[in-house]
Amino acid sequence: MNGELQPDALVAADGTGEFRNIAEALKAYKLNSKGWYVIYVKAGVYEENIFISKDQINVYIYGDGIDKTIVYGSKHSTDEFPAYRTAVVAVLGNGFVCKSMTIQNRATTGREAVALRIQGDKAAIFNCKIEGAERTLYAVAHRQFYRECIISGSQDIIFGDSSIVIQKSLIMEIKKALEAACPSMVSCADTITLATRDAVALGGGPNYTVPTGRRDRLVSNMKDVTLPGPTFTVSEGFQVFRSKGLTLGDMVTILGAHTVGVAHCSFFEDRVSNFHGTGRPDPTIDRNLAANHSKICASNPNTDPTVFLDQTTGFVFDNEYYKQLLLKRGIMQIDQELASDRSSVGIVSSFARNGIGFKQSFAKATVKLASTQVLVGISEVRTNYRVFNANKQSKSRSQENSTKGIVIKRF
């Protein structure tokens, strides 16, 4: 998707489209059709409650951007009107995708007011703002994926029984609830570590225990973030891990987190179309995969499209990532190098055969990673994720740089 699909329906509040609201566009959905039903919603404000039935599968709705395309409602729960019926957007169909828009429940009564309710399987939400008060996102069931989203509310913001993965997103007001329950005790660093653990478990991965007690830095310094790049060789990547006291096995294991999530074309596009300036794809990548992803990346280069890192079970935490590497279907160069370098291919093959063994090793390696360079000395427990505590602003950079700090790795 990511721009390469032509819309089947154009919605515009100003009357310049085929429909004036999304609900009307959904009525044009043809049951039992194959492929995507794509709805483009032009910038504007739409007051409506949208229901996508279980028979409406593979519905893809996209707008012109957060706070440009806004869909809102104002229903709230009562004794006779349950919370699930308050959703501004309710999705029962499988394969739902939503991108680049804002979904708001503007109810202000202090009762439950859901913005988005999803109970279909394989839902994916990209670059969306989901706003409400109490119980904003009702992730009812099945597999759901959120990336580069803003999810906000007053309490119980995300609830339900789905297997949900949230990447590179802001979840607002959670820190406020933590501060109310236990002031100045739970740091941002601990919250990220615990959220990562829970996301892994909800995706079908291991449920492990991580130590807490981390503190937050007084400044943010990009030079302290040491991550292996997408084009690193195995030896280059290992140098980064080894500097943190981690082994080659730890590196191969932790990169297995690529069994879920997506990558932007800018991280791998040269591999599928112009490897090292040759005008041809990387010889270590499957030809069909290269051809398909080359088309995706070329479809709308201005938006830097994304593809799943795991081509088969991108929503599930399993060992399929390693199986794909052995088939030359790794997306980023550092991934595929694991299956061609003599020092790491044995570990890849072992994990491809033994999914349980991979999950056990991942839990151990992740706990080990989370224990590296834990911050001591001059630090704080931040009361707001986005800003430093006011009384700490006078601390100088030189003071802060005299201490070692935790580095949260994202692979």
State yes or no: is 143 an active-site residue: yes
pLDDT of residue 218: 81
Indicate the DSSP class of residue 278.
Answer: S
pLDDT of residue 386: 58
pLDDT of residue 393: 44
* Residue 62: pLDDT over 50: yes
Is 282 annotated as belonging to a binding site?
A: no
Is 228 annotated as belonging to a binding site?
A: yes
Kind plus residue range of the DSSP H or E element containing 250: helix 248-254
**Helix (H, G, I), strand (E, B), or coil: what is residue 395?**
coil
**Helix (H, G, I), strand (E, B), or coil: what is residue 63?**
coil
Whether the pTM exceeds 0.95: the reply is no
| Active-site choice (143, 147, 214, 215) | 143
CA distance 48 to 391: 45
Kind plus residue range of the DSSP H or E element containing 368: helix 355-370
Indicate the DSSP class of residue 149.
Answer: -
CA-based Rg of the chain, rounded to a whole angstrom? 23
User: Each residue of 202-237: pLDDT tens digit?
Assistant: 788 998 988 888 888 887 665 666 778 889 999 999
pLDDT of residue 180: 75
In angstroms, what CA-CA distances link 408 with 167, 214, 279, 379, 388? Answer: 14, 11, 37, 16, 17
Is 310 annotated as belonging to a binding site?
A: yes
Regarding predicted confidence, which is higher, 202 or 248? Answer: 248
Mean local confidence (pLDDT), 42-71: 94
Is 258 annotated as belonging to a binding site?
A: yes
pLDDT of residue 288: 95
How many C-alpha atoms does 396 have within 13 Å on its Cβ side? Answer: 3
User: Each residue of 351-364: pLDDT tens digit?
Assistant: 999 999 999 999 99
Is 212 annotated as belonging to a binding site?
A: no
The partner residues of 139 in beta bridges, in order of sequence, read: 118
Does residue 217 contact residue 375 with C-beta atoms inside 8 Å?
yes
CA distance 155 to 132: 10
pLDDT of residue 404: 32
Angle between helices 345-353 and 355-370 (to 10 degrees): 120
In angstroms, what CA-CA distances link 342 with 79, 104, 232, 348, 362? Answer: 64, 52, 16, 10, 21
The partner residues of 136 in beta bridges, in order of sequence, read: none
Domains, the chain: 9-172 (2.160.20.10), 185-261+309-411 (1.10.420.10)
